[in-house]
Chains A and B, each alone.
Chain A
């Protein structure tokens, strides 16, 4: 279908238009992906409008301590008498910001490493892939805990810590794709007629790997939010902020369970799960559709197998 598109047209549309169109057609063909996208859009919109929607302040007590859900407090109150519904609405903002920002860091680092490694090959590839190997074997959460503790709790630190540990999967996938694009005839021809490396990467390589990068981005957001929740829960998040992870931390620290206050725990967890399920549905569908050749989908055994195969030279993927 896309092969039959007139050459002039796709040139005018620029490098990224075609991948975006392919992404859109995937969404139309797969209801699960559309549902995922819809859920994400709703959650983002609600989070943007949260200050308007939240019925009470998240700083000042508006009811009894651990009051059960009622007409005044739809989701009850927490240990400080603060409205849980307001907390969950406002808390989504931090979780989404961390998810997006940490993913941006990860895609930036991982995309660059993968691109350089796959495009130039040779010793550049070897050095970069060795570094990736080390990051792969170190357990993420433990390293995050150590670095976050040394840097001190803050939002920026959480974003950086997650982003700087999340980039390895992006790097591997981009590298594999770039390697296959690089050897195609039109890329070699472009090099032969004297097109520079940067131009080749920008005009020929990036548009080819963009759809995969989009899918990988969506899956990375899910992982980033999951990690953020864990760091917040361990007391390494922004101590003055409100996030879904911090809501759970307070519920555990201040023994919500002893009061039987399920309403202080359930909503935040369901929100986290909703975002992550939505990201998986969307990302998985995009990967399946855009990457039939490699099949490095999120739950695919091949991508798990990659961990042992990485760094074994040619044909590692």
Chain B
């Protein structure tokens, strides 16, 4: 009973949120000052006739409502428009960008989570000791360093040993069998991945530490101690188990940080992913690309949030009450 009601409510929230974002995406680009319509008039040496032609071609003489309905219909068919910059459909541009972004981001997220949980647990276990202090302070500093700065420092320090731009060696493509190609890809991924791991690690370890410390303060921990259970077993089966609950959803909850980190990292390393695509769209005022990129990133975050909600519910049925 409760279960299906909860599911329904979360699904409805996701659908409505996506709809709000789609609508926001339309109005931001059409209505706000500095939108495409006003910028059309800024084309150098444009004659009134040319502007008239452009306005008609893009359907900008229609009423906002008709334009909105057109926009929704095209979106439903997967049409995100055509990029100003390279005249390719935005959807296919974004698809290839996403294919480059996902491996790095996934690998970095997993690595930073494993490292963060390891040091966070160690830190909470040995709380108050020198080890805890060093680990916590290091994490706070890492958390405070801008991603682009970490990336630039890594480029300066390690450019002799590792490639610092692109996804692969341009001379290798198409000439090599599978394994050397993969190895080349992985080597190119090393620094971008390290940058993201360092960016995400600080926050992860701090949150794991505080989640564990909060669990250690619960009444059942006192009970466990009173029963005379050993310290190791107490940590493993009582504290960690309960702390894993919030930690499991950590990834999905820090999605905003991951996205921001990925954008900045890709710009420094010229990694041809979604972040670079957004950056180039900003530089070239390529509005269709910007609009499409915003929509794709935001909708995927909303979907991930929804998955996190379900996961949380699965792990902790108390949530639905």
Does B141 lie at the interface of the complex (its beta carbon under 8 Å from any beta carbon of A)?
A: yes
Interface string of A264-302 (1 = CB under 8 A from B): 011011001100110011000000000000010101111
Supposing A302-B214, A308-B308 touch, asked if A276 and B297 sit within 8 A by C-beta, the answer is no
Residues of chain B contacted by A142 (CB below 8 angstroms): 259-260, 263, 278, 293-294, 297-298
Does A252 lie at the interface of the complex (its beta carbon under 8 Å from any beta carbon of B)?
A: yes
Q: Is the CB of B28 within 8 A of A234?
A: no
Interface of chain B: mostly helix, strand, loop or mixed: helix
Interface string of B146-176 (1 = CB under 8 A from A): 1111001101100100001000000000000
Q: Is the CB of B297 within 8 A of A299?
A: no
Q: Among B56-64, B76-84, B245-253, which stretch is in contact with chain A?
A: B245-253
- C-alpha gap A304/B206 in the complex (Å): 12
Does B15 lie at the interface of the complex (its beta carbon under 8 Å from any beta carbon of A)?
A: no
> Out of A137, A150, A262, A297, which one reaches B301, CB within 8 Å?
A137
Chain B residues 289 to 321 lying within 8 A of chain A, measured CB to CB, are 290-291, 293-294, 297-298, 301-302, 305, 308-309, 312, 319
Q: Among A8-16, A41-49, A50-58, A225-233, which stretch is in contact with chain B?
A: A225-233
Please indicate which of the listed interface residues A138, A146, A152 has the most CB atoms of chain B within 10 Å of its own CB.
A146
Q: Is the CB of B146 within 8 A of A299?
A: no
Does B96 lie at the interface of the complex (its beta carbon under 8 Å from any beta carbon of A)?
A: no
Residues of chain A contacted by B143 (CB below 8 angstroms): 280
Residues of chain A contacted by B250 (CB below 8 angstroms): 304
Residues of chain B contacted by A251 (CB below 8 angstroms): 152
Q: Chain B: interface residue count, which band?
A: 35 or more
A-B residue pairs, 8 tightest by C-beta: A269-B149, A301-B211, A276-B144, A141-B260, A257-B155, A301-B246, A299-B206, A273-B144
**Chain B interfacial positions (CB closer than 8 Å to A):** 13, 17, 20-21, 28-29, 32-35, 140-141, 143-149, 152-153, 155-156, 159, 164, 203, 206-207, 209-211, 214, 246-247, 249-250, 253-256, 259-260, 263-264, 267-268, 278-279, 281-283, 285, 290-291, 293-294, 297-298, 301-302, 305, 308-309, 312, 319
